[in-house]
């Protein structure tokens, strides 16, 4: 029996735009339209629009929600103000990564967890397995579409379609309001390293918003962007991808997520394992690198010694469309994590030189 992949509410729009469609996380998704380089550069210089409706939306509510969530995630959600978002992680007791996610706080009794599409069901079951009295968990992913508008002209593209004053939404904050008369959540977040917004809306409102964004963005050079450009953009911005740069075999500290691990808060799942690892000392860690000679390192390429012994691996790698150089992230021995350190990467049987660099590869100055 042939497996039927799910379609986002924008599936037909992608076909009209002649997108190349692939299966991703159980959905038919656009991998590219015009081409990854064109789409990537357009997001950096103008504005791009992404269908990210495959992402998961899990609502957590109830009077005990804040305390319970605090015990489930690595970051400190007690510091969150209403209508603030936070990058976070769910861990196994061993300190390895269940998933990375965004936590949106509405008030002390209501939170939205935006989780990775491929992990949606796993995350939902993980949360249910640990739920406490006074907490309600609802997976509303099938009800919601999500559209990302990213790039320097994101604000001027979206603003004509909503009465919400977008300039007043600070980075990693969000507001409720109407977009094209559809009730929406508008957050100033993204996965590209650019300024931009992500609009959460019920499925039935997605096509109207998409079409209006394409029209509104036309004077600003808007182009739809697919999964391929999303991947190269996030890599330039030094952002981890679950399944590549971290998973159930890598701890949060190894995956360079220590900046969202708050050891000074009360106990959370995985805390004791991470403290033990920290005390003993890490043996490997995720770093950024640039190729020092011609060659493109890909996911799975081995980090090797001069005699060819494998000592690590590339988790993500590409030729940067904007920076015009070969970049990537890799797990290397702890003695090789300092910027400027030379490493060797096996590319098609040849050891090619690369240099460890500080992440991110690309950054922009954000308005505070």
The 3-class SS string of 124-140 reads HHHHHHCCCCCCEEEEC
> From residue 22, how far is each of 31, 131, 246, 352 by CA, in Å?
6, 35, 23, 32
User: What is the model's pLDDT at position 84?
Assistant: 98
Identify the residue whose tokens are 């799942």. 269
CB 50 within 8 A of CB 234: no
Q: Tell me what the mean pLDDT of segment 219-233 comes to.
A: 98
Q: Tell me what the mean pLDDT of segment 306-326 comes to.
A: 97
* pLDDT tier, 368 (very low <50, low <70, confident <90, very high otherwise): very low
> From residue 154, how far is each of 210, 236, 331 by CA, in Å?
13, 19, 34
Q: Does 3.40.50.300 match the CATH number of domain 283-368?
A: no
* pLDDT tier, 110 (very low <50, low <70, confident <90, very high otherwise): very high
**CA–CA separation, 148 and 196 (whole Å):** 7
User: What is the model's pLDDT at position 108?
Assistant: 83
pLDDT in tens, 346-366: 999 999 999 999 999 999 864
**CA–CA separation, 137 and 110 (whole Å):** 10
Give percent above pLDDT 90 in the chain: 97
For residue 102, the cross-strand partners are 87, 114
Long-range CB contacts (< 8 A, 24+ apart) of 269-274? 269/71, 269/72, 269/90, 269/91, 269/92, 269/93, 269/130, 270/74, 270/91, 270/92, 270/93, 270/94, 270/95, 270/96, 272/93, 273/93, 273/94, 273/95, 274/91, 274/95
Q: Is residue 2 over pLDDT 80?
A: no
Q: Tell me what the mean pLDDT of segment 40-63 comes to.
A: 98
> Is 266 buried (19+), middle (13-18) or exposed (0-12) by CB count in 10 A?
exposed
For β-strands 20-24 and 27-32, DSSP reports them as antiparallel
Domain 1-280 sits in CATH at 3.30.1360.120
Residue ranges covered by each domain of the chain? 1-280, 283-368
Compute the mean pLDDT over every residue in the chain, rounded to the nearest whole number: 97
**CA–CA separation, 78 and 174 (whole Å):** 17
Sheet holding 84-91, edge to edge: 84-91, 97-107, 110-115, 56-61, 136-139
Of the chain, the end-to-end C-alpha distance in Å amounts to 53
* pLDDT tier, 1 (very low <50, low <70, confident <90, very high otherwise): very low
Token pair belonging to 229: 């450009």
CB 160 within 8 A of CB 216: yes
Token pair belonging to 36: 């990854």
Q: Tell me what the mean pLDDT of segment 322-337 comes to.
A: 98
Q: Is residue 176 over pLDDT 50?
A: yes
CB 226 within 8 A of CB 20: yes
Token pair belonging to 249: 């075999």
Q: Is residue 38 over pLDDT 70?
A: yes
* pLDDT tier, 4 (very low <50, low <70, confident <90, very high otherwise): confident
Q: Is residue 367 over pLDDT 70?
A: no
> Is 249 buried (19+), middle (13-18) or exposed (0-12) by CB count in 10 A?
exposed
Residue 315's SS3 state is strand
User: What is the model's pLDDT at position 3?
Assistant: 63
User: What is the model's pLDDT at position 365?
Assistant: 66
Q: Is residue 177 over pLDDT 60?
A: yes
**Dihedral angle of Cα 14, 18, 24, 28, to the nearest 10 degrees:** 50
**CA–CA separation, 197 and 189 (whole Å):** 5
Which one, of 201, 167, 161, lies nearest residue 179 by Cα? 161
- CB atoms < 10 A from the CB of 299, how many? 17
pLDDT in tens, 131-154: 999 999 999 999 999 999 999 999
């Amino acid at each position: 029996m042939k497996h039927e992949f799910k379609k986002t509410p924008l599936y037909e729009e992608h076909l009209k735009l002649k997108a190349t469609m692939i299966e991703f996380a159980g959905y038919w998704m656009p991998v590219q339209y015009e081409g990854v380089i064109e789409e990537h550069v357009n997001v950096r210089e103008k504005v791009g629009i992404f269908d990210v409706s495959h992402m998961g939306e899990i609502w957590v509510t109830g009077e005990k929600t804040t305390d319970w969530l605090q015990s489930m995630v690595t970051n400190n959600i007690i510091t969150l103000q209403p209508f603030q978002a936070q990058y976070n992680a769910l861990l196994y007791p061993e300190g390895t990564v269940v998933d990375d996610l965004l936590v949106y706080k509405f008030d002390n009794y209501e939170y939205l967890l935006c989780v990775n599409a491929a992990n949606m069901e796993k995350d939902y079951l993980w949360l249910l397995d640990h739920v406490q009295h006074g907490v309600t968990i609802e997976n509303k992913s099938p009800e919601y579409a999500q559209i990302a508008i990213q790039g320097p002209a994101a604000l001027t593209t979206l603003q004509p379609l909503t009465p919400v004053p977008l300039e007043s939404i600070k980075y990693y904050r969000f507001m409720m309001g109407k977009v094209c008369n559809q009730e929406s959540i508008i957050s100033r977040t993204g996965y590209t390293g650019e300024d931009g917004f992500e609009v959460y809306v019920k499925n039935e409102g997605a096509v109207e918003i998409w079409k209006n964004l394409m029209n509104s963005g036309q004077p600003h050079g808007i182009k739809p962007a697919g999964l391929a450009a999303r991947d190269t953009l996030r890599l330039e911005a030094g952002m981890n991808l679950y399944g590549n740069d971290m998973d159930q075999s890598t701890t949060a500290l190894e995956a360079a997520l220590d900046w969202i691990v708050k050891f000074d808060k009360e106990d959370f799942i995985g805390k004791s394992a991470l403290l033990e690892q920290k005390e003993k000392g890490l043996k490997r860690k995720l770093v950024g690198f640039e190729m020092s000679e011609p060659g493109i390192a890909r996911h799975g390429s081995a980090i090797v010694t001069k005699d060819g012994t494998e000592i690590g691996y590339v988790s993500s790698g590409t030729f940067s469309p904007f920076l015009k150089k070969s970049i990537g992230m890799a797990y290397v021995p702890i003695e090789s994590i300092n910027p400027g350190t030379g490493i060797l990467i096996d590319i098609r049987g040849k050891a090619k030189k690369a240099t460890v660099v500080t992440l991110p590869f690309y950054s922009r100055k954000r308005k505070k």
